[in-house]
């Protein structure tokens, strides 16, 4: 007799949030690489990249940011329920979006807040967004002229200004192991 309930495919979502330059893209990719090398099926959903595909109709108003997050969380859930380890990299400035993503995905949802002083992000400025904002060429920069609400329930908070990429990746992997989502050490 086959069991009525299929085996848990084991997928989950790690939702990296924080200001531009906090390290979301870097850590989502580094964590993905580590999991992949341990045999996991992994996808990285990077909010910036997916805007072109999912949300060319959306801008940076509160409504549009929330709608974009909703679309990304929907796909994250589809993948996770099919056994994929999903890394999401999105600023996610509003608590409503985080809560909506959490309830879309279900219990296998780990919110990781990359809590970095904005001065550090501004110095890193990986995409030149702060520089262009200062020059008056870009508005709606989160933390400058758009809000970033402090996350209320992150499972993990990492200050990437005080550690290397390798150490930050290790923190995330250790956390996933502590939560019994992965067995890797
Ligand atoms: N511990 C760390 N974790 C993540 N990124 C770090 C860390 N230390 C330095 N960095 C650097 O900070 C920058 C973060 O950029 P990025 O990952 O593109 O940020 P985001 O996607 O959040 O806008 C990269 O240049 C990265 O090398
Ligand atoms: Mg990024």
The predicted pLDDT at position 163 comes to 97
Give the least confident one: 3-17, 22-36, 51-65: 3-17
Domain CATH code at residue 101: 3.40.50.300
170-179 average pLDDT score: 97
The pLDDT value recorded for residue 8 is: 65
Do 73 and 100 touch, CB atoms closer than 8 A?
yes
Q: What is the DSSP letter of 40?
A: -
Number of domains in the chain: 1
Q: What does the pLDDT look like over 96-136, one tens digit per residue?
A: 999 999 999 999 999 999 999 999 999 999 999 999 999 99
Mutate which of 20, 26, 125 for ligand 1? The one with the most ligand atoms within 8 Å of its CB, which is 26
Query: What would the DSSP string read from start to end of 71-115?
Result: HHHHHHHHHHTTT-EEEEE-----HHHHHHHHHHH-SSEEEEEE-
**Which residue's entry shows tokens 């709606």?**
140
| pLDDT band at 67; cut points 50, 70, 90 | very high
Model confidence over 40-66: pLDDT tens digits? 999 999 999 999 999 999 999 999 999
Pocket of ligand 1 (CB under 6 A): 18, 20-27, 89, 124, 126, 160, 163-165, 168
Residue 166 lies in a domain: yes
Ligand 1 atom with the smallest distance to the CA of 27 is 4
Chain centroid, CA 170 distance in Å: 16
The reply to whether the predicted model has a pTM over 0.85 is yes
Range of the domain at 151: 12-178
**163 Cα to the center of ligand 1, angstroms:** 11
Does residue 2 sit within a domain? no
- Give 93's contacts (C-beta < 8 A, 6+ positions apart): 65, 142, 146, 147, 148, 149
**Any domain includes 168:** yes
**Distance (Å) from CA 181 to ligand 2 centroid:** 24
């Amino acid at each position: 007799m086959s069991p009525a309930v299929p085996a848990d495919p084991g997928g989950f979502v790690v939702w990296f949030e924080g200001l531009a330059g906090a390290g979301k893209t870097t850590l989502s990719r580094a964590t993905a690489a580590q999991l992949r090398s341990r045999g996991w099926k992994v996808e990285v959903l990077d909010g910036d990249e997916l805007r072109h595909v999912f949300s060319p109709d959306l801008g940076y108003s509160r409504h549009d940011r929330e709608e974009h997050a909703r679309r990304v969380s929907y796909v994250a859930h589809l993948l996770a329920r099919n056994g994929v380890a999903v890394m999401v990299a999105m600023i996610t400035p509003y608590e409503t979006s985080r809560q909506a993503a959490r309830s879309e995905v279900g219990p296998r949802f780990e919110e990781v807040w990359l809590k970095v002083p904005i001065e550090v992000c501004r110095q890193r400025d990986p995409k030149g967004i702060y520089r262009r904002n200062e020059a008056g060429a870009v508005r709606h920069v989160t933390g400058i002229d758009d809000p970033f609400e402090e996350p209320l329930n992150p499972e993990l908070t990492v200050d990437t200004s005080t550690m290397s990429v390798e150490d930050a990746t290790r923190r995330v992997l250790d956390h996933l192991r502590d939560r019994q989502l992965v067995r890797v050490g």
